[in-house]
Structures are given as structure tokens and as C-alpha cells.
Structure 1
Amino acid sequence: EYWERPLTPTETLEGMSEAELRDYLDKIAEEEVAPEVSWWPLAVIGGLGVLGVGAAIALTARRE
């Protein structure tokens, strides 16, 4: 999904102080950046999957 915000006029940006520009860019970043994804649940599920496959292989391996 692509979201386009209206362009800010150059005159408006030129009239802003450095602090105002930083605040404005922070506001834009908060609107456009996706929220951070927690990787812990995925890592736990992946780890359990690896352990499960390893256990299945170990239990079904031929014993000599």
C-alpha cells in the first residue's frame, strides 16, 4: 500500500527553524514508518520447530 502525503510548500519549509524542521520530519516519520514487529514469538516458534525436527530425526534414525 502506497500512501502519499501532500507536498509542503517550499516557502513553508524555508520559513521554519531547524528545530521546527526536525519536529516536522519526526511527525512525518511517525505517520509513515510501520510499527516495529516483535521477533521474539517468531524466534521461539522457529526454535521449537528446529528442536522438533531434530527430535523426530533422532527418534527415527536407524540404530546399528
Structure 2
Amino acid sequence: MLFRILLLFFGFHRFLAETFPLTHANLTLEKISDYSLIYKWEGSDASKKTNHPVVTSGCGAGR
């Protein structure tokens, strides 16, 4: 059962990379424990840099 869940995660990672190639080309991707993905989008104006990240989740999408 766990193996099937992991395959779903990795399949979703592949789907994101194939569906959003510009995102993968322009944002920094950090993987947490191989399963969670964090995309970092650097701004162009360093004077407006903030230490308050925006976090979104696709959990429950389509329900």
C-alpha cells in the first residue's frame, strides 16, 4: 500500500514537471523528504524582499 502511494507522489511530481516546464525552468525546486515540493520564486527587487513566504497547497483539489 505504501509503495503505491509513493508511486502516486512521484507520478504527480513528473506531471508537474511535464505540465509546467517554464515553472521548472525559472523557479528553484527544493524537495523535502523526497515527497514534498517547495518552489521558490525570487523577486527582481531586493529592496522589497520579505521573510514572509507564501505557502499554497493542492491538497484536496478537485473535491
TM range (shorter): under 0.3
Higher RCO, 1 or 2 (CA under 8 Å, sep at least 6)?
1
Compute the TM-score of the two structures, normalised by the length of structure 2. 0.27
Structure whose CA Rg is larger: 1
Compute the TM-score of the two structures, normalised by the length of structure 1. 0.26
More strand by share: 2
